[in-house]
């Protein structure tokens, strides 16, 4: 399932759902990428700035891909959510 991510809170929720679908605890997922559980919890709640390399490791650990594509002219990137 593809998700259009429009906020850090939305991204955190998508990552949380993916982790749960894989049957991983926050501790297990965090350990697999060299992070502690409280830090992963903050990421999932959208309460933390996260380094890009950490985010990419988490995405890979959850067997996800991040795809960037051009926005169609006239699309509002904040549709329904605020930054």
Q: What is the tens place of the pLDDT at every residue in 45-55?
A: 999 888 999 99
**What pLDDT, on the 0 to 100 scale, is given for residue 81?**
44
Dihedral class, residue 30 (left if φ above 0, else alpha if ψ from -120 to 50, else beta): alpha
Which tokens sit at 6? Answer: 């429009």
**What pLDDT, on the 0 to 100 scale, is given for residue 83?**
41
* CATH architecture classification, 8-61: Orthogonal Bundle (1.10)
Model confidence at 8: pLDDT above 50: yes
| pLDDT 10s digits, 19-34 | 999 999 999 999 999 9
Percentage of the chain beyond pLDDT 70 is 88
Model confidence at 73: pLDDT above 90: no
Looking at per-residue pLDDT, the higher value among 78 and 48 belongs to 48
Sequence-distant (≥ 6) Cβ neighbours of residue 36 within 8 angstroms: 30
The domain locations on the chain are: 8-61
Model confidence at 78: pLDDT above 70: no
From residue 42, give the alpha-carbon distance in Å to each of 16, 68, 78: 11, 24, 22
Cα gap 53→9, rounded to integer Å: 18
């Amino acid at each position: 399932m593809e998700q259009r991510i429009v906020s850090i809170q939305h991204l955190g929720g998508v990552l949380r759902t993916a982790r749960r679908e894989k049957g991983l605890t926050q501790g297990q997922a965090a350990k697999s990428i060299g992070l502690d559980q409280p830090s992963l919890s903050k990421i999932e709640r959208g309460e933390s700035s996260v380094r890009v390399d950490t985010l990419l490791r988490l995405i890979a650990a959850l067997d996800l891909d991040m795809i960037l594509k051009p926005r169609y002219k006239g699309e509002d990137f904040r549709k329904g959510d605020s930054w």
